[in-house]
Structure 1
Amino acid sequence: MLAPITGRKVFFGMAAAFGVIISVNLFLAYSAVKTFPGLEVKNSYVASQHFDENRAAQEALGWSISAEVHQDELQLAITNAAGQPVEVADLTGTFGRATSVRDDQTPDFVFDGTMYRAPVTTAAGNWNLRFEAVARDGTMFQQRVVVLVER
């Protein structure tokens, strides 16, 4: 025979259920904040004010971008509209995972006459190269390139 359900049992059952829900929510919120890579820009409104003109200047360069990793070497090809390699005035970037900053690296690019090369440490999976290049005429070029690494 089962004991009768009392108000005390209902209270403890509900408290336990909500305790589990709240605990899981707190854990998920903590995990999300801990792994968040950070802000892209400090003030998105200010950044948006020049978005169209920056995009138009970038598109006017006519550059095509491709990036891949071969034997722990990141290879970044920048070509102009005629398909010729482009040597930029300045190139900086961050190479890492899309979801975490733990594996972020700052590649030291070297131009070899056809493309930029930099040693990197990778594992299989989805990586991102976020880079900024300054054209010889001073135009800023920014792009995020998805790089799939297979092992």
Structure 2
Amino acid sequence: MSEKTPLTGAKFAAIFITAFVVIIIANLSLVYAAVGSFPGLETRKPYVEALNFNSKRHAQEMLAWKTVLEYSGGSVRLTITDASGARVVLPAIEARLGRATSHAYDRNLTLNFDGELYSSIVNLPAGNWQLRIKTQSLDGVPFMRILPLIVGDRS
């Protein structure tokens, strides 16, 4: 049989300090990972944007546009309809496709309108993507959306 050694003050201090060092290293690792993956600010003037947010949101809601985003066969397809279900035809749409957590995958898309929907050919690996669109109605009302897009297996 082995004899148990008593727990002295020095041993207890070493265990206590080692535990805290492990916790601090784990926390610093998590902070490093979080800061390293943060893409940055959404806007350069958040205060000014916030002042006008409700009026812009209300004007956009009055358009009553509905968006549907799909991806299959290497093609992103966007459908925009109005309240009556008619297709919305726009002169230009700014589209930026990327991941929510990193700008490394971001790319601008040119969406071509074929009379029914807007589409662009792009090869996407499986994962969680988002399409940010900016456009405006023919009477000048700005319209912006961030549309989620899940590519691949949903399980």
Q: What TM-score results when the alignment is normalised by the length of structure 2?
A: 0.87
Name the aligned partner's letter for residue 47 of structure 1. Answer: E
Q: Which residue of 2 aligns with 1:51?
A: 53
The whole-number CA distance in structure 2 between the counterparts of 1:90 and 1:38 is: 27
Matching residue within 62, 65, 79 for 2:64: 62
Matching residue within 86, 105, 115 for 2:117: 115
Q: Which residue of 2 aligns with 1:142?
A: 144
Runs (4+) off by over 3 Å:
none
The whole-number CA distance in structure 2 between the counterparts of 1:43 and 1:89 is: 28
Matching residue within 36, 39, 64 for 1:37: 39
Helix, strand or coil: the match of 1:9?
helix
1:45 Cα deviation after fit: 2.7
In the alignment, is residue 16 of structure 1 matched against residue 13 of structure 2? no
The whole-number CA distance in structure 1 between the counterparts of 2:32 and 2:45 is: 24
1:16 Cα deviation after fit: 0.8
Name the aligned partner's letter for residue 135 of structure 1. Answer: S
The whole-number CA distance in structure 1 between the counterparts of 2:148 and 2:51 is: 26
Q: Deviations over 1:70-93 (max 9, x none)?
A: 211110111122222222232112
Name the aligned partner's letter for residue 121 of structure 1. Answer: N
Name the aligned partner's letter for residue 8 of structure 1. Answer: A
Contact 1:68 / 1:149 at 8 angstroms: preserved in 2? no
Q: Which residue of 1 aligns with 2:6?
A: 4
Q: Which residue of 2 aligns with 1:99?
A: 101
Helix, strand or coil: the match of 1:90?
coil
The 1:138/1:89 distance shift into structure 2, 3 A limit, reads farther
- Name the % identity: 38
Q: What TM-score results when the alignment is normalised by the length of structure 1?
A: 0.90
How large is the RMSD of aligned CA atoms in angstroms? 1.7
Helix, strand or coil: the match of 1:127?
strand
Number of residue pairs matched by the alignment: 151
Matching residue within 133, 136, 139 for 2:135: 133
Gaps of 5+ in 2: none
